[in-house]
Structure 1
Amino acid sequence: MSIERKMRPTHVIGPTGEPLTLGDLPPANTRRWVIRRKAEVVAAVRGGLLSLDEACQRYTLSVEEFLSWQRAIDRDGLPGLRTTRVQQYRSAEAR
Structure 2
Amino acid sequence: MYLRKVEGPRAVTLPDGRILTRADLPSPDTERWVASRKARLLLAITVGLVSRDYAIETYGLSEEELQSWERLARRHGPEGLRVTTIQKYRQP
Asked whether the two chains share a fold, i.e. TM above 0.5, the reply is yes
- Extract unaligned runs of 5+ from structure 2: none
* Larger fraction in helix: 1
5 Å-filtered alignment, 1:35-54, equals 35-54=35-54
State percent identity of aligned pairs: 40
How many residues align? The count is 85
Question: TM-score, with normalisation over the residues of structure 1?
Answer: 0.74
Q: Which residue of 2 aligns with 1:28?
A: 28
Q: Are 2:79 and 1:70 equivalent residues in the alignment?
A: no
Q: Secondary structure at the match of 1:77?
A: helix
- Extract unaligned runs of 5+ from structure 1: none
After superposition, the C-alpha distances for 1:15-71 in whole angstroms (9 at most, x for unaligned) are xx8422111100000011111000000001111111100000110000110111111
* Distance in 1 separating the partners of 2:65 and 2:21: 22
Question: TM-score, with normalisation over the residues of structure 2?
Answer: 0.76
